Chain A
Amino acid sequence: MTIGIADIAGYVPEGRVNLEERLEQFGVTRSFLEEKTGSLQVAVKNEGQETSDLAEAAVRALAERQAGLLERVEMLVLVTQNPDGYGLPHTSAILHGRLGLLDSVAAFDVSLGCSGWVYGLSIAKSFMESNGLHHGLLVTADPYSKVVDPEDRNTALLFGDAATATLLSDDGVEWDIGRFVFGTDGTRAADLRVQDNRKLFMNGRSIFTFSATRVPGCITDALRRNDLGADQVDRYLLHQGSRFIVDTIGKRLGAEERTPFLAGAVGNTVSSTIPLMLGDGACRNDNSVVACGFGVGLSWAATVLRRKT
């Protein structure tokens, strides 16, 4: 059996932070938002919404078009670093109960940020194939509004809330999943972290330099590992850290026109950015796509997705 991606659904909360109203406060211009961060607004959950609420909404959106999904699921993986409450119990267990999944379902959380969906693909695919499971869910839900300081220009202009649910299956596969490349630079772990005051800190320059210098090589390695030439890639789906980072990497790859920034309406939604693009049809006419996530850790991962023929 070979597990691939059968479907993806996303959930973006209705709330928005209008960043145009905060230009003076942050000392930035509208063109800075448009050309650099890439977002004039970011999505934000209601104060009462928990991580599991966002995750549940994404799964239910998927279940609406996948008849009998909740009865078929055998595995539930939730990628988050902002779990419900204090993280115990694991949020995937809460979600499992909310969705009324079978008690034979394997459910666990994966603690990763912006590289999490790509890592999660590998974890879920391997877990399912080695245990003979046919239907699994990979869910991303990492609402940074829980930890972003609204007064911090470095982070408040970037991060948005969203969730996604990816159906992994050996049936009805749309995308075959290739081999993976992973990496970690723990020496820079402190450059993107939640501080003792429970607020997010980001060394923007360090994250930019890391992204600009590590990611192109990671992608080159992934192409080599999958016997794919750069000219055969239809789309590079990069984690949508900011427009500036995506554009910079696109230039370094020599593939600006194939490296879209599509997070303008929601902001950087951490592990949800890549599946949101894929689920929204950003690659509907593509056959070969590189997916690359990178960020907190610092951590990175890439793979190649090929349309199932």
Chain B
Amino acid sequence: MTVTVEELRDVIAGVLKEHDVSGWSEDFDFIASGEVDSLDHASIALAVEERYGVSISDETIPELTSIQAFQREIARQKA
């Protein structure tokens, strides 16, 4: 299963309705930059879980700080 950066950006945009995520590159760290707080991060993880049928553990989520990181995690679980 291949999930594109564009798809994931759309998923995140659906969560962060007040943010403009169109310019986020795939490796943009939205946590370190302060764009996303812990609650929005949990919302993004939930949206990804529901959209792609994956399960993101509490131990994994701190590492998922970019679109690319989510993309890799989905690919890993779907492999």
Q: Interface on A for B, CB 8 Å cutoff?
A: 32, 36, 203-206, 208-209, 212-213, 244, 248
Contact = CB atoms under 8 A, between A and B. Distances in A.
Nearest to A205: B42
Nearest to A207: B42
B37 A205 contact: no
Contacts, number: 25
A32 B42 contact: no
Interface string B44-69: 01100010000000100100000000
A148 B60 CA distance: 27
Contacts of A204: 38-39, 42
Contacts of B50: 213
Given A204-B42, A205-B42, A209-B42, 12 more contacts: A36-B37, A36-B39, A204-B38, A205-B38, A205-B61, A206-B58, A208-B39, A208-B46, A209-B46, A212-B46, A213-B50, A244-B39
B43 interface: yes
Contacts of B61: 205
Nearest to A29: B37
Residue in B42, B45, B61 with the greatest tally of chain A CB atoms within 10 Å: B42
Interface of B: 37-39, 42-43, 45-46, 50, 58, 61
B43 to A, nearest CB: 7
Contact of A32 (B37, B43, B45): B37
A36 B40 CA distance: 9
A248 B45 CA distance: 14
- B-side binding surface: helix, strand, loop or mixed? helix
Residue in A203, A204, A206, A209 with the greatest tally of chain B CB atoms within 10 Å: A209
A112 to B, nearest CB: 25
Contacts of A208: 39, 42-43, 46
A248 B42 CA distance: 11
11 contacts: A32-B37, A36-B39, A204-B38, A204-B39, A205-B38, A205-B42, A206-B58, A209-B42, A209-B46, A213-B46, A244-B39
A158 to B, nearest CB: 12
A229 B65 CA distance: 40
A204 to B, nearest CB: 7
Contacts of B45: 205
Contacts of A205: 38, 42, 45, 58, 61
A40 B43 CA distance: 22
Contacts of B38: 204-205
Contacts of B39: 36, 204, 208, 244
A208 B46 CA distance: 9
B27 to A, nearest CB: 24
A212 B61 CA distance: 17
B35 to A, nearest CB: 13
Contact of B43 (A203, A206, A248): A248
A244 B61 CA distance: 19
A208 B39 CA distance: 8
A244 B41 CA distance: 12
A212 B50 CA distance: 11
Contacts of A244: 39
A213 B47 CA distance: 11
Nearest to B45: A205
Contacts of A36: 37, 39
A244 B42 CA distance: 11
A207 to B, nearest CB: 10
